A and B are shown apart, each in its own frame.
Chain A
Amino acid sequence: MSAAPPLKDSYELAVIGAGPAGLAAAALASGLGIDTVLFDEQTGPGGQIYRAIGETPLRERRVLGEDYWHGSALLEAFRASAAHYVPGASVWSVSRAREIGVSVGGVARLLQAGHVILATGALERPFPIEGWTLPGVMTVGAAQILLKSSALAASGEVVLAGSGPLLWLLAAQYVRAGVAISAFLDTTPRGNLQAALPHLPAFLASAYFRKGLRLTREVKRRVRIVRNVATLAARGEGRLEAVVYRAADGVERQLAADTLLLHQGIVANVNLANAIGCAHAWDDRQLAFRPVVDEWGMSSVEGVAIAGDGAGIAGAEAAEHRGRLAALDAAARLGRIDRARRDRDAAPYRAHLRRAERGRAFLDALYRPAKAFRIPEDDVVVCRCEEVTARQVRESIGLGCTGPNQMKAFLRCGMGPCQGRLCGLTVTELIAEARGAAPGEVGYYRLRPPIKPITLEELAGLPKTAAAVAAVER
């Protein structure tokens, strides 16, 4: 990894995102002699899963667990490579011709890449409930980031709510760190286990089984767990004061709360791939859109590959192998290795990938989030930025609105600064339900660059050719 040399006007390969897929892809490609740049929006490498790896202030290794520390090996391999690492870089555009628009430190640049690997990872699925915009309500992922990068933990009355492996992981990390959790409200629908059973044999043979068992035991010993939570609301004046819920008995209960941490799984972060124009398809197993890619991660757009969870959730270990496969394919397409070598070198990564993916189908089925928490009731805010409720979205369907893009024009839903990241899937499923259509048919927002806000000053400051200046001068 080389830091701080000035950016060049072109690179053979640009990797976007420094999580496991991006780090592995950049290190491998660079090892094959490919001139590689890695852009990452965060200020340090690791992505979210290995956040602050190499610099976490947490002293006790056991708090985060061994899976986290695996990130050190990835980081070392990347640091030993010649890839040009650019942190704090917001990639706001990639054209079909692979011209990349990026801002670093408030200065925008355009540069050219021969091949692009998107490793933009995942984000947490929207969890729209009453009061989810109140200060004091955050995602489980946010709490984990604070833990990893600043050794900060929630204090006072802490309530965890939702479903999925990350929820259990954070609870276990808090338990190990001696952080008190007032309650763990499990929203996993009761019928899920049965639906997951056909996938049980593969799960039992996977590493997830042992790890999951240990993790849930660790939490159950120390934390009060409420199962079958069917309704959930955050209440308070100006900030969170209480969490109100109903479990299987239907009785409404209230818990005092200073912090509510929500989570119901992660989904592919598709904003950049969508804006480039890569084809996406609805994945009913993961209840989300994912880019359509081949076995090397190649998207429908020539020269643009997608590796890691950004191409559909399969976890950190799988992500690093998907990154390497995408890098090998990039090397073949750039003429650095032939196809026979690509296929030969890929064999061990494919074997690792198959092993790493084992058990995912069971987890997807077991932690499939409840409909009530994906398609909320009328009064719930769906679009946090523009403060649009589920009722308004439903009413727009009644007015003849057929899909998310037309609805934007009616309501501005999805047009705030987050550009639909926190409402897109909710809106698709809301419209699908109201129309009696399939989510894949309803589709997703059509996103356009810039996919991250940049100032006019930055745009105006882009280097211009003499011809471009002459074209507008009078």
Chain B
Amino acid sequence: MFRRLHEAEGKAVTLTVDGRPIEAREGDSVAAALLAAGIAVCRTTPVSGAPRAPYCMMGVCFECLVTIDGRGNRQACLVRVEPGMAVATQAGKRELGA
């Protein structure tokens, strides 16, 4: 669980996560926006299906992999939010043709 320390001065940015709109702040990474919106799990693992969430926030752990605007396995901590961005959480391993 994370909360803003104060009403951030940056502009509000609306994006969707699995089709649901969430509000972030300009300058947020997608991973930060997920955490701020209370989305605790960003994917399940290809090996056991265990839930995972952002861990390092600096691009080394690859836990925050999500699909952004149709492109899979993006590191959510390395991408800044943009208005209208469509983020999808990822489930397990990908199937052929999916």
Contact B9 A155 (CB under 8 A): no
Contact A152 B4 (CB under 8 A): yes
Against B, the Cβ 8 Å flags (1 = close, 0 = not) of A111-137 are 000000000000110000000011111
In the assembled complex, 27 residue pairs joining A and B whose CB atoms fall closer than 8 Å, in A order, are A43-B29, A43-B78, A55-B27, A57-B8, A57-B10, A57-B27, A58-B5, A59-B6, A106-B71, A135-B53, A138-B57, A139-B56, A142-B54, A142-B57, A146-B57, A150-B4, A150-B28, A150-B29, A152-B3, A152-B32, A152-B35, A152-B36, A178-B5, A238-B51, A387-B47, A418-B61, A422-B61
Contact B61 A421 (CB under 8 A): yes
A269 neighbours in B (Cβ, 8 Å):
60
Q: Which residues of A are interface residues toward B (Cβ below 8 A)?
A: 41-43, 48, 52, 55, 57-59, 88, 106, 123-124, 133-139, 141-142, 145-147, 149-156, 177-179, 238-239, 258-259, 269, 384-387, 416-418, 421-422, 453
Contact size class for B? Answer: 35 or more
With A416-B62, A422-B61: A146-B2 Cβ-Cβ less than 8 Å: yes
Contact B48 A138 (CB under 8 A): no
Contact A156 B57 (CB under 8 A): no
Contact B3 A142 (CB under 8 A): no
Contact A155 B2 (CB under 8 A): yes
B61 neighbours in A (Cβ, 8 Å):
384, 418, 421-422
- Report whether over half of chain A's contact residues are helix, strand or loop; otherwise say mixed: loop
Contact A152 B2 (CB under 8 A): yes
Give the docked Cα–Cα distance between A151 and B9 (Å).
10
B80 neighbours in A (Cβ, 8 Å):
43
User: Cβ of B12 < 8 Å from any Cβ of A?
Assistant: no
Contact B78 A41 (CB under 8 A): yes
Against A, the Cβ 8 Å flags (1 = close, 0 = not) of B42-63 are 0001011011111111111111
Which A-B residue pairs are the 7 nearest by beta carbons?
A135-B53, A142-B57, A417-B62, A145-B57, A155-B3, A150-B32, A387-B47
Contact B60 A123 (CB under 8 A): yes
A-B Cβ contacts below 8 A, count: 129
- Report whether over half of chain B's contact residues are helix, strand or loop; otherwise say mixed: loop
A138 neighbours in B (Cβ, 8 Å):
53-57
With A123-B58, A417-B62, A421-B61: A239-B51 Cβ-Cβ less than 8 Å: yes
Give the docked Cα–Cα distance between A106 and B80 (Å).
14
Contact B56 A141 (CB under 8 A): yes
Task: Give which listed residue, B5, B9, B53, B58, contacts A153 with CB less than 8 A.
Answer: B5
Contact A421 B60 (CB under 8 A): yes
Give the docked Cα–Cα distance between A58 and B8 (Å).
8
Please, which residue of chain A has its CB at the minimum distance from the CB of B32? A150
B25 neighbours in A (Cβ, 8 Å):
57, 150
B71 neighbours in A (Cβ, 8 Å):
106
User: Cβ of B41 < 8 Å from any Cβ of A?
Assistant: yes
User: Cβ of B73 < 8 Å from any Cβ of A?
Assistant: yes
Please, which residue of chain B has its CB at the minimum distance from the CB of A156? B1
Give the docked Cα–Cα distance between A135 and B6 (Å).
25
Give the docked Cα–Cα distance between A418 and B28 (Å).
23
